[in-house]
Amino acid sequence: MAKEKGNDGRSEGVAMSAAGEGKSTQASSRPGDVLPVVAVDTGGTFTDLLLLRDGVLTALKLPSTPDDPSASVLEGIRRFLGPRETRPPFLLIHGSTVATNAVLERKGARVMLVTNEGFEDVVEIGRQDRPQLYALVGHRAPPPVTREDRVGLRGRLGPDGEEIVPLDPEELRGLPLRLADAEAVAVCLLHSYADPGHEEEVGRALAELRVPVALSSRILPEFREYERTATTVVNAYVAPKMAHYLRRLEAESGAEAVRIMGSAGGALPLRLALEEPVRTVLSGPAGGVIGALIRGSRHRRSQLLTFDMGGTSTDVSLVPGRLLHTREGRMGGLPVAIPLVDIHTVGAGGGSIARVDPGGALQVGPASAGADPGPICYGRGGREVTVTDAHVWLGRLPPAAFLGGTRALDREAIREPLAALADQVGSTPDDAAEGIIQVANATMERALRVISVERGVDPSDLYLMAFGGAAGLHAAELSERIGARGVLLPPDPGLASAWGMLAAPVVRDRTRTVLLRSDVMEDGARLGEAMDRMEAEARRELEDEGFPPAILQRRREVDARYLGQSWELTVPEEGWEESFHQAHEERYGYRRSTQPVEAVTLRVRVEAPGVEAPGEAGLRAGAQDAGQRGTQEGEEAETGPLRAQASGTAPPSRESAQATIRMGGEVVAAHLLSREALPAGVWMSGPAVLVEYSATTWCPPGWRLRSTEGGMVELEPSPR
């Protein structure tokens, strides 16, 4: 296990990076040799990379390569650390979209399912709910394993793990032949959470197939057959593609160690990501949420709505001082019952395409221009107007200030396609562009209300933490629409998810269904013993990776319900019975203190601290000379859709430049501000455009902004 460097937040000047087009910042560090750390977040439009080396944090954004996501990752590592042959050892932390895209696009492996005889159709029957409540004939997406690829075995366990019908040895011997065409196998037998013995026998019988075999007793040792089966099937479905991607990344990156960001808000070792890739389905967005919580807490702003707007989608999450998790996530129409950071996603991003529907109404998304060809203004052949194009046309995204002034966008190329779209809706190009932004805002506003107002949470108690490359262009207007306290923008908001991956803890989660009662003394002892075993197993794995026992932290929780209920509430283990009564009363308005409480599923998390990334003070101070970006000596600056301009040109300062903004049929002048040049603590009145390397922020009329001492930017309505 490599030692990882931290800092005390004091600035020690500016350092240039050999990576070229990135931004370098210096923070003080402890003495000692450490490995460089690279954090990567792969998005639909850009791949975001951060390098932490000798206390220097360097940022780099490259166009994503959808046909081969690893290409942009490997290119970024090459720019950071040089050729593979001379590259120093380093730690790679990666947020991957490979598993997510495989499920959503139905491009996974051919999966075969082994289950109990008579239960082959559980994955298709589901809960018999109606996806479209008012449709006369509903439609449900088919499961990724066909009826012909489901095999039933005669063995059977009871709910306490007792063997009712043993597995047939002859049937097991013939199983590999029946599954010979499988690219991956999911095994889900009844009550394997109580005793995994039957599943392990099946796993041993399938070893000769040499394909990924997912056992539900390892993936999700919990009751409820449908959720357990579906989650195990999804795991097997993405396993071959994920294995190919991660193995290639491991080999070609030259990293000494690889961690993958998990969907529950913690980093996983490569081994676990290979065995249980289903735990990475919300990999990138989870990094952004945990980074927002860490940064918000440092600034005493921990009551948050996170707003992560990238090129293809927007992810929002409620963060009331802590991460909220759900086990009711869905992916591609199937439940994914592993713990996930509670994130709501909508198809609205900077690359979302505007169109006119058959009724003549303007629509935006969910289709996206992505990285190739990208928005029209990127100059790579895009012909459909996107949200980014609308911002460029209106002046909110100044063409010469994109990526902190190192790239130029083509505004003139937008004119003809935007005029054609405007003709379809009977308006001017300016009005059509404003309409595109308003439609996108409406979609994102609904998403923010889903996770706040619809849950009984008043947004006026929360700050909107905006990050992602496009979030700052919409944050003030959305904050006003939902009535939030104001807007917070972290340093380098376009790279906030990668920063969160650096800071995220390394975690091990353990779950087990036990079905124990509070009124049975023996069950109380069994609960504690089971928790101890789960914690010991998780601790042992982290200690084997080199983490000292003294730095490990734990969280132990119980999913509990009143005896006879169908659903549970999660409460802390200590005093779990009384905690459940209180939680039930808070949620439903009453308690049944005389009724036994059932501990259904036990949950243990053990975590070790993540990389101690430079704090905001160091980032802010080091950003003063962001204009010193360039490419490696003699290296061609072409990076995809955008070509580097002459380096050494910093974004314009507030005193020297203005932006021309079109709004409401008028042309107004706005301050063009460089984030690096903002004096701390001084309020600037809008209209203003704030530019920096990874994002641009729009401060509308009637709003004001300032930079804090720690490097956060705050936006709020101007006092009346």
CATH of the domain at 447: 3.30.420.40
Residue 206, in any domain of the structure: yes
Residue 201, in any domain of the structure: yes
Average pLDDT, the chain: 85
Contact between residue 266 and residue 504 where contact means Cβ atoms under 8 Å apart: yes
Going by pLDDT thresholds of 50, 70 and 90, the confidence category of residue 68 is confident
Tokens (6 digits) for 401: 């200030």
| pLDDT above 70 as % of the chain | 89
Measure Cα distances from 160 to 120, 157, 205, 218 in Å.
22, 8, 24, 18
Stretch 498-521: mean pLDDT, rounded? 92
Measure Cα distances from 612 to 24, 141, 547 in Å.
17, 43, 14
Q: Which helix (H) or strand (E) holds 134?
A: none
Burial class (CB in 10 A: 0-12, 13-18, 19+), 525: exposed
- Give the C-alpha separation, 217 to 235, whole Å: 13
User: Are residue 464 and residue 576 in the same domain, yes or no?
Assistant: no
Question: pLDDT for 685-703, tens place per residue?
Answer: 989 999 998 899 999 999 9
Contact between residue 27 and residue 623 where contact means Cβ atoms under 8 Å apart: no
Confidence at residue 371, expressed as pLDDT on a 0 to 100 scale: 78
Is the pLDDT score of 33 beyond 90?
no
Is the pLDDT score of 621 beyond 60?
no
Identify which has the larger pLDDT, 629 or 249.
249
User: Are residue 311 and residue 459 in the same domain, yes or no?
Assistant: yes
- Give the C-alpha separation, 288 to 504, whole Å: 10
User: Are residue 495 and residue 596 in the same domain, yes or no?
Assistant: no
Helix, strand, or coil (residue 663) = strand
Residue 64, in any domain of the structure: no
Residue 666, in any domain of the structure: no
Is the pLDDT score of 649 beyond 90?
no
- Give the C-alpha separation, 199 to 464, whole Å: 46
Confidence at residue 615, expressed as pLDDT on a 0 to 100 scale: 59
User: Are residue 296 and residue 154 in the same domain, yes or no?
Assistant: no
Q: Which helix (H) or strand (E) holds 307?
A: strand 303-309
Identify which has the larger pLDDT, 241 or 643.
241
- Give the C-alpha separation, 249 to 70, whole Å: 7
Residue 358, in any domain of the structure: no
Stretch 299-317: mean pLDDT, rounded? 91
Confidence at residue 617, expressed as pLDDT on a 0 to 100 scale: 38
What are residue 329's phi and psi, to 5 degrees? Answer: -70, 155
- Give the C-alpha separation, 235 to 253, whole Å: 25
Cβ count within 10 A of residue 528: 12
Helix, strand, or coil (residue 297) = helix
Confidence at residue 34, expressed as pLDDT on a 0 to 100 scale: 77
Beta strands in 635-693 (DSSP E): 658-663, 666-674, 684-685, 688-691
Confidence at residue 454, expressed as pLDDT on a 0 to 100 scale: 92
Is the pLDDT score of 7 beyond 70?
no
Helix, strand, or coil (residue 340) = strand
Task: State which residues form the domain around 556.
Answer: 506-608
Stretch 110-127: mean pLDDT, rounded? 93
Contact between residue 292 and residue 490 where contact means Cβ atoms under 8 Å apart: yes
Contact between residue 332 and residue 144 where contact means Cβ atoms under 8 Å apart: yes
User: Are residue 552 and residue 475 in the same domain, yes or no?
Assistant: no
Q: Can the peptide bond before residue 596 be classed as cis, meaning omega within 30 degrees of 0?
A: no
Stretch 592-603: mean pLDDT, rounded? 94
User: Are residue 573 and residue 544 in the same domain, yes or no?
Assistant: yes
Residue 51, in any domain of the structure: no
User: Are residue 524 and residue 592 in the same domain, yes or no?
Assistant: yes
Task: Pick the range with the lowest mean pLDDT from 229-243, 480-494, 642-656, 691-705.
Answer: 642-656
User: Are residue 476 and residue 529 in the same domain, yes or no?
Assistant: no
Is the pLDDT score of 531 beyond 90?
yes
Is the pLDDT score of 619 beyond 70?
no
Hey, which residues does 696 pair with through a beta bridge?
691
Helix, strand, or coil (residue 211) = coil
Given 608, 637, 655, the domain boundary residue is: 608
- Give the C-alpha separation, 155 to 191, whole Å: 12
Residue 675, in any domain of the structure: no
Stretch 257-278: mean pLDDT, rounded? 92
User: Are residue 161 and residue 307 in the same domain, yes or no?
Assistant: no
Residue 144: closest CA among 188, 116, 185: 185
Given 502, 522, 548, the domain boundary residue is: 502
Question: pLDDT for 146-188, tens place per residue?
Answer: 999 999 999 999 998 999 999 999 999 999 999 999 999 999 9
Confidence at residue 405, expressed as pLDDT on a 0 to 100 scale: 67
CA 469 to chain centre: 14
Residue 80: closest CA among 47, 58, 102, 54: 58
User: Are residue 219 and residue 172 in the same domain, yes or no?
Assistant: yes
Is the pLDDT score of 654 beyond 90?
no
- Give the C-alpha separation, 5 to 21, whole Å: 24
Question: pLDDT for 448-465, tens place per residue?
Answer: 999 999 998 999 999 999
Confidence at residue 96, expressed as pLDDT on a 0 to 100 scale: 86
Is the pLDDT score of 622 beyond 60?
no
Stretch 665-681: mean pLDDT, rounded? 88
Contact between residue 355 and residue 389 where contact means Cβ atoms under 8 Å apart: no
Question: What is the edge-to-edge ordering of all strands in the sheet holding 56-63?
Answer: 23-26, 56-63, 46-53, 37-42, 91-95, 257-261, 267-269, 506-517, 597-608, 553-562, 569-572
- Give the C-alpha separation, 347 to 384, whole Å: 16
Question: pLDDT for 546-556, tens place per residue?
Answer: 899 999 999 99
Is the pLDDT score of 55 beyond 50?
yes
User: Are residue 118 and residue 220 in the same domain, yes or no?
Assistant: yes
Given 579, 608, 637, the domain boundary residue is: 608
Residue 405: closest CA among 415, 397, 394: 397
Is the pLDDT score of 6 beyond 70?
no
Q: Residue 601's domain is classified under what CATH number?
A: 3.30.1490
Is the pLDDT score of 580 beyond 80?
yes
Confidence at residue 403, expressed as pLDDT on a 0 to 100 scale: 78
Residue 13, in any domain of the structure: no
- Give the C-alpha separation, 473 to 381, whole Å: 24
Question: At 20, which amino acid appears?
Answer: G
Stretch 578-582: mean pLDDT, rounded? 95
Tokens (6 digits) for 553: 């932290």
Going by pLDDT thresholds of 50, 70 and 90, the confidence category of residue 627 is very low
User: Are residue 314 and residue 454 in the same domain, yes or no?
Assistant: yes
Q: Nearest 5°: CA angle at 237, between 236 and 240?
A: 80
| pLDDT above 90 as % of the chain | 63
Domain count, the chain: 3
Going by pLDDT thresholds of 50, 70 and 90, the confidence category of residue 291 is very high
